Chains A and B, each alone.
Chain A
Amino acid sequence: MSEHDDDRRWVEAIAGRPGGADDAADREAAAVREALLAARAGDAMSARESEQGLDRLLERLRRERLLGEERAGPPRRWMAWAAATATLLVVAGVVLWPQLQQPEPDEIVVRGAPPQELVDARPAERAARLAAELEALGLTVVRRETRGGLLLEALIEKRDDPRLAEALARQGLRVPQSGPLLVRITEGKR
């Protein structure tokens, strides 16, 4: 493998997409990724700090008249053109879509236990609730969209924390024996 390819593989592994070769380079990238996620664990603002900052921001946006009004509709003479263009785009999309469809990127795979699966009618809301619960316990949570759902990755510092075990058990999940907690949430009826 060339140095160029090796570097590219390393960066992919840092991004959470390891190539699967269990060698020193992959182990190094996995350890660096873990260090990066851990180093950012303290970045979350307290709820109070966040809401105060948001109030200040909204106040400034109002003062500077940046919140604005809903955009007015376009002049009537352009509406027919807009409708015709939209129709053309839809037709072109229907015709070209099967040809343009690319294979989706590989799913994110992180060393350790395989992802635990949850099915929910509203995956985004379920992911947000679970992430908030984990963040409240001091975990750093990374959210990703993957093929057919959402993937939550959380670095676990204390595997024997009973609060974590309880929080996960309430969701039908368990603390993994090694590696980060990975939960894939897909859309479907519970």
Chain B
Amino acid sequence: MSAAGDPDAAEVAGLRAGGSERAAGIAALYRRHAGRLLGYFVRQRVPRGEAADLVQEVFVNVVRHCAEFRGDAKFGTWLWSIARNALIDHLRRSRGVEVDLDELGEEALAAASPAPADAGLRDCVRRAYAEFAAAHRDRAETLALVAFEGWSAAEVGAYLGRTPGAAREYLSQCRKKLRPFLERCREFLLS
């Protein structure tokens, strides 16, 4: 995997240089990514105050381990894998058990509400996706990262800690699990 064209490359170089360049680098990375990290934790049902603490923890770990970041993947992929691990640790601590992020989502499975007859494709898909996200939070977040970061299967694999092949299978499963939720939007998609 190549990190060519990594939009965070300049800031990461500053981070690794240390001193004032490190402070400037981490500040730029924080301003760029903290909002989405906070949203990610909140959507995973972490109370907002604790979510803000987790964002802090992620960036402290970024600084603490920046020497280990070899740059063979994009910084964003590495950052999100740190965030995912921080979330798993947090849930493990608060629940005292091993955690499967996707199983957690199943607890929140909401009954699918029919879309209003006059809802267009956009509204229909948004509702369907919100229900999918309630049922499969981790999968929904992964797909969101694919959309926002433009990730390839290999980058999804780096985030999930899986091989590219396993990541492709995971993404296929995401699509299969999303499909029933989108069923009610079928008429819009076919029109």
A44-58 to B contact mask, C-beta < 8 Å, 1/0: 110000100110111
Decide if A125 is an interface residue (CB 8 Å cutoff): no
Q: Is the CB of A57 within 8 A of B59?
A: yes
Among B95-103, B108-116, B170-178, the one that faces the other chain is B170-178
B69-91 to A contact mask, C-beta < 8 Å, 1/0: 00000000000000000000000
A23-48 to B contact mask, C-beta < 8 Å, 1/0: 01001100111111111101111000
CA–CA, A100 and B40, complex, Å: 38
Residues of B within 8 A of A43 (CB): 35-36, 38-40
Residues of B within 8 A of A36 (CB): 129, 143-144, 147-148
Among A61-69, A73-81, A88-96, the one that faces the other chain is A61-69
CA–CA, A33 and B136, complex, Å: 17
Decide if A126 is an interface residue (CB 8 Å cutoff): no
CB contact list, A73-132 vs B, under 8 A: 108
Q: Is the CB of A44 within 8 A of B30?
A: no
Residues of B within 8 A of A108 (CB): 150
Among A141-149, A159-167, A169-177, A182-190, the one that faces the other chain is A141-149
Q: Is the CB of B36 within 8 A of A54?
A: no
Query: Quick one: given A43-B36, A45-B35, A67-B23, are A7 and B171 in contact (CB under 8 Å)?
Result: yes
Q: How far is the CB of A36 from chain B (nearest CB, A)?
A: 4
Chain B interface residue count, CB cutoff 8 Å, equals 52
Q: Is the CB of B122 within 8 A of A53?
A: no
CA–CA, A60 and B19, complex, Å: 15
CA–CA, A6 and B31, complex, Å: 37
CA–CA, A108 and B151, complex, Å: 12
Which of B30, B35, B128 meets A57, CB within 8 Å?
B30
B171-188 to A contact mask, C-beta < 8 Å, 1/0: 110010010001001001
CA–CA, A60 and B7, complex, Å: 26
Residues of B within 8 A of A71 (CB): 17-18
Decide if B52 is an interface residue (CB 8 Å cutoff): yes
Residues of B within 8 A of A11 (CB): 146, 153, 168, 171, 175
Decide if A136 is an interface residue (CB 8 Å cutoff): no
Q: Is the CB of B125 within 8 A of A31?
A: yes
Residues of A within 8 A of B1 (CB): none
Interface residues of B (CB under 8 A from A): 5, 7, 17-19, 21-23, 26-27, 30-31, 34-36, 38-40, 52, 55-56, 59-60, 63-64, 121-122, 125-126, 128-130, 133, 143-144, 146-148, 150-153, 168, 171-172, 175, 178, 182, 185, 188-190
Closest 9 CB pairs of A and B: A43-B39, A31-B125, A36-B147, A70-B19, A45-B35, A68-B18, A35-B129, A7-B172, A145-B5
